[in-house]
Amino acid sequence: ENREMQLEDGRFLMSSERYDKLLQDHTKTELDAWKIVRVSENFRVIALGLPVPKYSGNPLDPPLRSRFQARDIYYLPFKDQLKLLYSVGANVSAEKISQLLSFAT
């Protein structure tokens, strides 16, 4: 919400407003040495690939993580997928549907 976050590699993402205030008293070289990175006012997180901790990856800090939803959607078993495809592709041969599903899974 404030566009700030500590990264695991030691860098700290800082909101542009706070970063610009620091620049009034410090040089960019100093801020770079402190691993402070200015975040654009237009920064947006569009999507995340894998939630954690159940999955491998790096956790987000709680304030940022609270902005997202995660859903774990399991695949249909082969037999159930086949049944579904038969019903929606009634005019497609059963053999072609089975081959297509075998290829996709």
Q: Tens-of-pLDDT digits for all 105 residues of the chain?
A: 566 888 889 999 999 999 999 999 999 999 999 999 999 988 776 665 655 566 676 777 777 777 776 677 778 898 999 999 999 988 999 999 999 888 887
Residues 12 and 46 in one domain: yes
Q: How many domains does the chain have?
A: 2
Residues 11 and 44 in one domain: yes
Do β-strands 36-39 and 12-15 pair in parallel, antiparallel, or remain unpaired? parallel
Which residues span the domain enclosing 79?
Answer: 74-105
Q: Is 40:16 a contact under the CB 8 Å cutoff?
A: yes
pTM of the predicted model as reported, rounded to 2 decimal places: 0.47
